Chains A and B, each alone.
Chain A
Amino acid sequence: MQYSEKISDHFLHPRNAGELEDATVIGEAGSLATGDAFRLYLRINSQDVIEEARFQAFGSPTAIATSSALTEMIKGKHVDEAVRLSTRDIAAYLDGVPQERMHAPVMGMEALEDAYAKYRRLETLDEDGQSARIVCRCFNVSHGRIERAIRDHHLSTIAEVTHHTKAGGDCNSCHADIENLLARARAERARAAEEERIRTARDNARKAQPAGGISDLQRAALIQEVLDREVRPGLAMDGGDMELVSVEGATVRVKLGGHCVSCSSSTATMRYFVEDKLRELVDPAIEVIDITEHGQELHAPPMR
Chain B
Amino acid sequence: MRIHLPNSAFLGNIDPFLREFDTSEPDKLEITANKKWISVHPVVLSMVAALGQTVKPSNISCERLEATSKHYLERMGLFKFLGIKSAITITEHESAGRFIPITQINDSSALTRFITEMTPLLHLEPRHAEPIRYIVSELVRNVLEHASAKQGAVLSAQYFQKSNTIRIGIADTGVGIKQTISNAYPVKNDLEAIQLALTPGVTGTTRREGGTEYNAGAGLFFIKSIANVNRDFFMIYSGRAMYKLLKRKPNSKIKLFADPFNDRHSKEENLPFWQGTVVGIDISLDATREFSALLDLIKDTYTKAVKERKKAKYKKARFI
Q: Do A and B come from one complex?
A: no
Taking Cβ atoms with an 8 Å cutoff, the residues of A that contact B are none
Taking Cβ atoms with an 8 Å cutoff, the residues of B that contact A are none
